[in-house]
Amino acid sequence: MLGELEQIVLLAVMRVGKDAYGVPIHDEIQRRAGRDLTLGTIYKTLSRLEEKGLVASHVGEPTAQRGGRRTRCYVVSAAGKRSLQTTFKALRHMASGLDVGLEPA
Partner 1 sequence: MIRFCVWLLERTLRSDLADHVIGDLIEQQERGALWMLGETISALWHLHARPRPHGDFAQSVLADLRVAARLLRRSPAFTFVSVVTLGLAIGATTAIFSVIEPVLLRPLPYPNAEQLALVYERNADGSRDNIGFATFHDLVAQSRTIEHAAALGEWQPTLSDKSEPERVRGDRVSWTYFRTLGVRPALGRDFTEDEDAPGKNQVVMLSYGLWQRRYGGDTSIVGKAISIDGNPMTVAGVMPATFDNALSPQAKIWRVLGYLNQSYACRTCHSLRMIARIRPGVSLETAQGELDGIKSQLMQEYPKEYAAAGTIVGRVQDEVTMATRPALWALGGAVLLVLLIAVSNVVSLQLARAIRRVQEFAVRGALGASRARMIRQLLTEGLLLATLGGIAGLIVVYATLPLLVARLPQNMPRLAAIHVDPGALGVVTAIVLLLAVVMGLAPARGRFIDLSSALRSGRRLSGTANHATRATLVVGEVALAMILLVSAGLLGRSLVRLMSMDAGFDTTHLLTLEINSTGARYGNDTSVYEFHDRVREAVGALPGVVSVAVANQLPLGGNVDMYGVADPDNLPAKLEQLPFADRYTVSTGYLNTMRIPVLAGRGLTTADENESAPKVALVSEALAKRVWPNESPLGKRMRAGGAEYPIRTVIGVTGNIRHSGLDAKTTMQWYAPERQFDADNQEVLIVRTAGDPGALAPAVRRAISAIDPTQPIVKIATMDDVVAASTSQRRLALVLFATFAGAALLLAIAGIYGVLAGTVSERTREIGVRSALGATPQRLIGQIVRQGGRLAAFGILLGLGGSIALTRYLQSLLFGVPPNDPVTLVGVCLLLAAVTLAASFVPAARAARVEPSTALRSE
User: Which residues of the shown chain bind partner 1 in the complex (CB under 8 A)?
Assistant: 21-23, 38-41, 43-44, 47, 59, 62, 65-67, 69-72
| Residue 87 to residue 37: CA distance in whole angstroms | 22
Rounded least distance, CB 26 to partner 1, Å: 8
Question: Based on C-alpha coordinates, what's the Rg of the chain?
Answer: 15
Looking at the Cβ atoms of 58 and 93, the one nearer to partner 1 is 58
Please identify, using beta-carbon distances, which residue of 27 and 103 lies nearer to partner 1.
Answer: 27
Q: How far is CA 14 from the centre of its chain?
A: 7
* CB 39 to partner 1: min, Å: 5
Question: Closest distance between partner 1 and the C-beta of residue 63, in Å?
Answer: 8
Please name which of 82, 10, 71, 81 lies closest in space to residue 42, comparing C-alpha atoms. Answer: 10
Sign of CA dihedral 10, 29, 72, 47: negative
For the CB of residue 70, give the shortest distance to partner 1 in the complex, in Å: 5
- Residue with smaller CB distance to partner 1, 23 or 56: 23
- In angstroms, the CA 37 to CA 46 distance is 13
Nearer residue to partner 1 within complex by CB, 53 or 62: 62
